[in-house]
Structure 1
Amino acid sequence: MGLDTIKAALPGYARDITLNLDSTLGTSTLTPTQAWGTALACAVAARNPLVLREIAAEAVGHLGPEGVEAAKGAAAVMAMNNIYYRAKHLIGDEQYASMPARLRMQFIARPGVDKGDFKLWCLAVSAVTGCGICLETHEKALRGRGFTREQVHEALRISAVVHAAAVTLDAEAALA
């Protein structure tokens, strides 16, 4: 169950992803809460049922119920924010920057876990969905909270590998 199930499901051509699951989550320099919250938030964002189910099953032991809800909440709010802020940025018209979002984001104020950890998970989801402005904003906020570049980098590594596992398994399911 958990990572072992994902690794067993990955095809031979994705051996690097299998090995990277171990090296990113198995030996992460992040705290277990930070690493597994990152993995779970990114699994939600990556949308593959097997990856999400198995990471969630393993993450609960590291996060507890509040952490699981916060990681899912990070993915949910960033699903909205990443689309909105990336679109405003890509349009390239500065007048949009001054327009208020008027989107509810109350969960961000009280995520139920350490706000730094929550921001780390938001950054990782932003990497999965490709929102540059959200990546910049969250990285600056994390650095302001005392997170190191190495910690941010570690979250990015986890997001990349979780996403790669999801993409690979989606491709295999579509081709089956």
Structure 2
Amino acid sequence: MSLTDLRNALPDYAKDLKLNLDSVLSDAGAQGLDAKQIRAIALSCAIASRYKPLTEAIEAFAAEKLSPEEIAGAKAAAAVMGMNNIYYRATHLIQNEEYGQLRAGLRMNVMANPGIDKMTFELASLAVSAINGCGACMDSHEKVLRKHEISAQGVQSSLKIAAVVHAVAVALEQA
């Protein structure tokens, strides 16, 4: 099923999502991001949202601009954040500060060479962290992005992609 087919399958109560999906996935709507970044972030977010038909459609959309290595990098962001968000969210939320002081000891080698440029990987990681609700990870990725001169609009656009892609997945799963 194509992205257009899925968009059209959204129920009437989700008509705002139809408009927002078109906007956040367009070069004009996702201010501060380029076409490759938009697609990589959207793919990472679709994976994190766990609705296979949407993931498949967004992967096809992403493949229009991304190489197989870049697609693998977007998938890697979703995978490693799926692990990190659980761990770091838990150590942040547990009231015993001792857990936050312990060495995580989790392998994150993909972060050194993710297959996509590092700032796109960071943007995708931020977006997935938003979906997964990990404030500690969001803070960490936002700081890296801003340090490397990604604009506030770029960060915001990444978060808007996360919000809309996740909402579309939820609505389609309920339809």
Alignment of 1:118 onto 2:121: yes
Tell me the equivalent position of 1:138: 141
Tell me the equivalent position of 2:77: 74
Looking at structure 1, the residues matched to 2 and 62 of structure 2 have their Cα atoms a distance apart, in angstroms, of 8
Tell me the equivalent position of 2:15: 15
Alignment of 1:24 onto 2:24: yes
Q: How much has 1:3 moved relative to structure 2?
A: 2.6
Looking at structure 2, the residues matched to 158 and 6 of structure 1 have their Cα atoms a distance apart, in angstroms, of 16
Alignment of 1:6 onto 2:9: no
Aligned-partner SS, 1:62 = coil
What is the aligned-residue identity percentage?
49
After the TM superposition, which residues 19-168 of structure 1 pair with which residues of structure 2 at under 5 Å, given as runs?
Answer: 19-26=19-26, 27=28, 28-29=30-31, 30-168=33-171
Q: TM-score normalised to the size of structure 2? A: 0.95
Alignment length (residue pairs): 172
Structure 1 residue runs of 5 or longer lacking an equivalent are: none
Aligned-partner SS, 1:63 = coil
Looking at structure 2, the residues matched to 81 and 35 of structure 1 have their Cα atoms a distance apart, in angstroms, of 22
Q: TM-score normalised to the size of structure 1? A: 0.95
In the alignment, residue 3 of structure 2 is paired with which amino acid? L
Looking at structure 1, the residues matched to 126 and 117 of structure 2 have their Cα atoms a distance apart, in angstroms, of 14
Q: Tell me if structure 1 keeps the 8 A contact 2:25–2:39.
A: yes
Q: Tell me if structure 2 keeps the 8 A contact 1:48–1:166.
A: yes
Looking at structure 2, the residues matched to 74 and 9 of structure 1 have their Cα atoms a distance apart, in angstroms, of 28
Looking at structure 1, the residues matched to 45 and 174 of structure 2 have their Cα atoms a distance apart, in angstroms, of 18
Q: Tell me if structure 2 keeps the 8 A contact 1:5–1:54.
A: no
Q: Tell me if structure 2 keeps the 8 A contact 1:17–1:164.
A: yes
Q: How much has 1:2 moved relative to structure 2?
A: 3.5
Per-residue deviation, residues 43-79 of structure 1 (Å, max 9, x unmatched): 0000001110100111111111111000000000000
Runs of 4+ in 1 over 3 A off after TM superposition: none
In the alignment, residue 61 of structure 1 is paired with which amino acid? E
